[in-house]
Structure 1
Amino acid sequence: MTQKIAIIHGIFILDGDFEPCSFDVLIDNGRIAAVGSELQIPSDAKIIDAKGMIVMPGGVDPHVHLHYPQGSEQIFSADDWRSGSVAAAMGGTTTILDFIEPKNETLLEAMKKRNDEAKAGSIIDYSFHMSIIDTNQQTLDDIPKVVAEGITSFKIYTAYDGIRLNYGQLPSAFGSVARAGGLSIVHSEDHATIMQKIKECKDKGYWNCIHHPHCHPSEGEIFSNKRLIEAALFVAKTIHPNRIMHLHIVHVTTSEGAQLIRNARDGNIVSESNKEITQTEEKEQDQNKIKLDITGEVCTHHIVLSDECYKGIYIEEQIQGDEKEKKTLKEIAHPSAFILSPPLRSPHEIDMLLQEVERQDSGLPFLTSDHCAFTHLQRMGQRRHPEIAVDEKGKRVSGIEEHAPWWTEERLKKEIEQFEKQSIEQKQNSSSLQIPTDHPTYPDILIDKHTNLPKSSLPSIPPPFYMMPGGGSGIEPRISLAYNLLVVERGWTLRRFVDFVSTAAAKRYGLYPRKGTLKVGSDADVLIFDPNARLILSKDNSFMVSDQHPYEGRCVIGVPNVVIVKGMILRDKIGGPCLSFEPRGELLRRQPFHS
């Protein structure tokens, strides 16, 4: 049940031009009832003394994938709506946006099915982005109907067969979304570049995770950014004058991509097909610049982790020998934990990206987790569903029993045969080709106790990196990692930090001021954050179910203390348990985007 709560003596963060101050907050009936310095606190209110703590709106993470069936193998992401929403809340995030991906059904049918899943499991409020994986007439006709149901953002992929649109389909999709009052959000990578790079790896016998970044290069992402911005500009010229082309690019990993967003927003993008113009035409263009309502986002892993992770993460460990102690390296994060797209970039690229994030006129106003976790067994091809689940009481239990791993000895032989066939073809043109010498030095494959197969039927070598399910864990530590990097290490103000992890995303997706702020009347989603507490991140103290934690062993300064969701205390101390697993989350229906 919700109750009256008074939070006193905290460092209160209110968005806008207000500086952090020592205000008190009164919560009643699941909403913010009052904010001020000398509040009359009801006698029946529970008092929380937040002295020395930051009192801020709960985080808003608009990019997560819970219970998400990925690829042709339908490998489900490890966290479902219960475990994923619990992990989010325990990390201070109180609102999430997930995705709907229609499968041989109308958009509205897919929406109902996905909402039923979320409603049955989520302990926090949620909304959706609808994926557009085709531009047939039925899909385009359904877009206004989806907007009328309160889902106003539409996901488009420019990569991955089965879900992508080609560049020629973008104007049709963008135009339909814009006319309906929606926002187009795009996973921007160039499909042809990815496929060509994967072919190069296959030709050379490259199998290991360390080659993953090679197949998703920065230039492919930038090329795709340019093409989709050009398509958006075309649509902006042709749609109804009372409509605006709203565009958002997810998980931007390059500074050049961020610059393209800024330039398009400010009207400084010139079409590739119209570069040569006269001075007179240039003046006319300047007077009639087309400005897009365009933003981008960055993911936690793209500013915290680098491509060094594809070697694995190790710690030094001492072992007591017969005569003396010996030092050895212990792997604490397997390279497969970092198979995600776009991939982790180099330290130099990360530094350049952070400079773009920190600009006052940045086109990257908020941080997302892109949480799409998998277990080690799933990455290694032994399971389609995670072997771990969380029951209605929050207890960890065994996952669905499975009898058919997606990676088998037969599949391994088939893949090697393809390598050998390509080897023969390539050797005719290259005398230096080596195939396939780059088999992984992974530890032995774990045998799933829920897979009723003899060990001999499982492959001796894991799947190649390009076959593994892609995505990382991050829904829980997002806010702590951001505080540690941006406030502690880089000196950000508290106000900008809160905007980055909560307010800006709420505004972009039409959730503000219900979410992302502590104004009177807003939902009482409150995070009381200890700016001095330290925590070593680990799968052993995480609410995320995956046994792969990409931030394993990393110490952060800044930890959630108390988490309140719509007036209910879900966590009452650092390291405390989740106090309620009741699925109280509601679908947040949003208004169409304004012209």
Structure 2
Amino acid sequence: MTSEFDLVIRGGTVVTASDTMQCDVGVRDGKIVALAANLPPGARDVDATGLLVLPGGIDSHVHIDQPNGPETVQADTFESGTLSAAFGGNTTVLPFALQQKGQSLRDAVRDYHAKADGECYVDYGFHLIVSDPTEQLLGQDLPALVQDGYTSFKVFMTYEDLRLDDRQILDVMSVAREQGALVMVHAENFDAIRFLTQKLENEGKTAPLYHGASRPAVVEREATHRAISLAELVDVPIMIVHVSGRESMEQIRWAQARGLKIYGETCPQYLVLTEADMDGADMEGAKFVCSPPPRDVASQEACWEGLETGVFQVFSSDHCPFRFREATGKMHPKARSSFRWVPNGIPGIETRLPILFSEGVTKGRISINRFVALTATNHARMYGLYPRKGTIAIGSDADIVLWDPARQVTLSQSLLHHGADYTPYEGFDVTGWPVTTILRGTIVVENGVLCGAKGGGTFLSRDLPEQAKPRAPAVF
């Protein structure tokens, strides 16, 4: 007798962003088709007794196999990066397709598809990084790509090869308004960082520790305020990414209180790391160099406040991995001469969910429903994937993680699957762990064992974000 279900997840506690219930989950043809008690047996049953049944994590801010200049190389390919994501309880990732100066945006997207096709263990889409907003890009390529399902793009206010000036940002925001796309903003003041970096180097302060001093909170605050002002001028929603502390968070809260569509994201490094971690001997501090940098305990508390009160809609990893002990990574030849040459970025795609669950849910800072919203549902809503992704509901993709809320684990490089040779969270104790990851009804990881195949993840063409609708150009 043929079962009506390909898979039944039985006996667990199903959690969404709004509800918690005891029921079974029936899956057929990769979709959730039943939520009820005592479903009949499926072709395969999975016992989830004592476990939480959560939507698969969506990490909407990751950098995988991204060009980083002629001297450094990122540690993850799409194979290793998505494998690590799956072991961390994620079923969807949204990395960036970076346009290099002089390159067409279409060519950049084509290059990233070539890297990712057939290599991924989880589903994926691409944000676009606009570094060279030519007339061709603004008038033709970017609008066409938005219509093709690349419905979000990122602009940088810092980094020599990526930063846009205010006029260029306004041009990109205007396209977003007309097309209904979402603009993500890396908000740090380039000239202020360059000024402080030169001053520190002149004083002989070149160790990784001084990376933090070169990018104090004020340069993030100023750029956040400026990004919000530009968005208000054009009347377009934006996402301020990787917010590190109170000063930038208060700019976002101010804008939200005025009814502006300004959204915020923070990351694990701003909850559990501090600037002091960059003070390690023998360049060990380079392991923690990222931008914006980790700050202090007061900044950690502010970020928790933002997660608890809704200032932040999403919690992402900003996974940007480099190997520590290689000349193409954190220890490349120039790195010892100054912090400015240490590659910016840390690995975190596999540890994002356990850190937030342990520090947030287990310690009573946030509810389990808020955890689901911050790690899955809101990502799907913000980036045009809901309700296909990000929830457990009839008709949604059967992207599910079975979570043991009581399992205690000490994070260690030896447990992880990314391409980096270290984790910045070495020795960090967590309570709560993903034990089984299911992608569209197929078990990818079960009890710490890889079951899925490379290439099982597929590309996602995304809808326009819920909070952005195409509108005519702003009239001034």
* TM beyond 0.5: yes
Write the deviation string for residues 311-346 of structure 1: whole angstroms up to 9, x where unpaired.
239xxxxxxxxxxxxxxxxx9x92111010000011
Aligned-residue sequence identity (percent) comes to 31
Q: 1:352 aligns with which of 302, 305, 315?
A: 302
Aligned length: 461
2:474 corresponds in structure 1 to none
1:473 Cα deviation after fit? 0.8
Write the deviation string for residues 44-98 of structure 1: whole angstroms up to 9, x where unpaired.
x21111111000010000000011111x335221011000000000010110001
Whether the 8 Å CA contact 1:154–1:185 is kept in 2: the answer is yes
Distance in 2 between residues matched to 1:383 and 1:223, nearest whole Å? 33
Write the deviation string for residues 507-566 of structure 1: whole angstroms up to 9, x where unpaired.
111111111111111111110000001111111111112112100011110011111111
Write the deviation string for residues 196-247 of structure 1: whole angstroms up to 9, x where unpaired.
11011111111211111001110000000111111111112xxxxxxxx121
Indicate the structure (1 or 2) with the bigger Cα radius of gyration.
1
Distance in 2 between residues matched to 1:8 and 1:14, nearest whole Å? 16
2:171 corresponds in structure 1 to 172
Whether the 8 Å CA contact 2:207–2:336 is kept in 1: the answer is no
Deviates more, 1:366-375 or 1:304-313: 304-313
Match of 1:69, SS?
Answer: coil
Q: 2:81 aligns with which of 80, 84, 96?
A: 84
1:99 corresponds in structure 2 to 96
Distance in 2 between residues matched to 1:49 and 1:494, nearest whole Å? 21
Answering whether residue 27 of structure 2 is matched by residue 27 of structure 1, we say yes
Whether the 8 Å CA contact 1:8–1:51 is kept in 2: the answer is yes
Distance in 1 between residues matched to 2:368 and 2:183, nearest whole Å? 30
Match of 1:120, SS?
Answer: coil
Structure 1 stretches of at least 4 aligned residues deviating more than 4 Å after TM superposition: none
Distance in 2 between residues matched to 1:312 and 1:46, nearest whole Å? 50
Q: 2:400 aligns with which of 526, 540, 546?
A: 526
Whether the 8 Å CA contact 1:7–1:47 is kept in 2: the answer is yes
1:104-253 equivalence runs, <5 A: 104-141=102-139, 142-236=141-235, 245-253=236-244
1:366 Cα deviation after fit? 1.4
1:176 Cα deviation after fit? 1.5
Q: 2:458 aligns with which of 573, 576, 586?
A: 586
Whether the 8 Å CA contact 1:127–1:587 is kept in 2: the answer is yes
Q: 2:15 aligns with which of 1, 13, 16?
A: 13
2:473 corresponds in structure 1 to none
1:160 Cα deviation after fit? 0.8
Deviates more, 1:112-121 or 1:558-567: 112-121
1:406 Cα deviation after fit? 5.6
TM-score (norm 2): 0.93
Give the 3 Å change call, closer, same or farther, for CA 406–532 of structure 1 in structure 2.
closer
1:257 corresponds in structure 2 to 248
Give ranges in structure 2 of 5+ residues lacking alignment.
470-476
1:536 corresponds in structure 2 to 410
Distance in 2 between residues matched to 1:492 and 1:194, nearest whole Å? 35
| Letter matched to residue 22 of structure 1 | Q
Whether the 8 Å CA contact 2:243–2:264 is kept in 1: the answer is yes
Match of 1:75, SS?
Answer: coil
Distance in 2 between residues matched to 1:354 and 1:572, nearest whole Å? 31
Whether the 8 Å CA contact 1:58–1:502 is kept in 2: the answer is yes
Distance in 2 between residues matched to 1:373 and 1:556, nearest whole Å? 21
Distance in 1 between residues matched to 2:81 and 2:26, nearest whole Å? 29
Write the deviation string for residues 397-456 of structure 1: whole angstroms up to 9, x where unpaired.
xxxxxxxx962xxxx6xxxxxxxxxxxxxxxxxxxxxxxxxxxxxxxxxxxxxxxxxxxx
Write the deviation string for residues 247-297 of structure 1: whole angstroms up to 9, x where unpaired.
111001122322222222332xxxxxxxxxxxxxxxxxxxxxxx4322010
Q: 2:370 aligns with which of 463, 485, 496?
A: 496
Whether the 8 Å CA contact 1:26–1:41 is kept in 2: the answer is no
Whether the 8 Å CA contact 2:84–2:418 is kept in 1: the answer is yes
TM-score (norm 1): 0.75
Match of 1:7, SS?
Answer: strand
Distance in 1 between residues matched to 2:461 and 2:169, nearest whole Å? 26
| Letter matched to residue 334 of structure 1 | E
Distance in 2 between residues matched to 1:486 and 1:7, nearest whole Å? 26
2:49 corresponds in structure 1 to 51
| Letter matched to residue 246 of structure 2 | S
1:274 corresponds in structure 2 to none
Distance in 2 between residues matched to 1:11 and 1:52, nearest whole Å? 8
1:517 corresponds in structure 2 to 391
Write the deviation string for residues 178-212 of structure 1: whole angstroms up to 9, x where unpaired.
11211111000000111011011111111211111
2:321 corresponds in structure 1 to 373
State the superposition RMSD in angstroms: 1.9
Distance in 1 between residues matched to 2:417 and 2:456, nearest whole Å? 18
1:572 Cα deviation after fit? 1.4
| Letter matched to residue 196 of structure 1 | F
Match of 1:154, SS?
Answer: strand
Q: 2:257 aligns with which of 247, 266, 280?
A: 266
Distance in 1 between residues matched to 2:253 and 2:425, nearest whole Å? 31
Match of 1:63, SS?
Answer: strand
Distance in 2 between residues matched to 1:524 and 1:263, nearest whole Å? 38
Match of 1:83, SS?
Answer: helix
Whether the 8 Å CA contact 2:228–2:262 is kept in 1: the answer is no
| Letter matched to residue 89 of structure 1 | A
1:364 corresponds in structure 2 to 312
Whether the 8 Å CA contact 1:334–1:548 is kept in 2: the answer is no
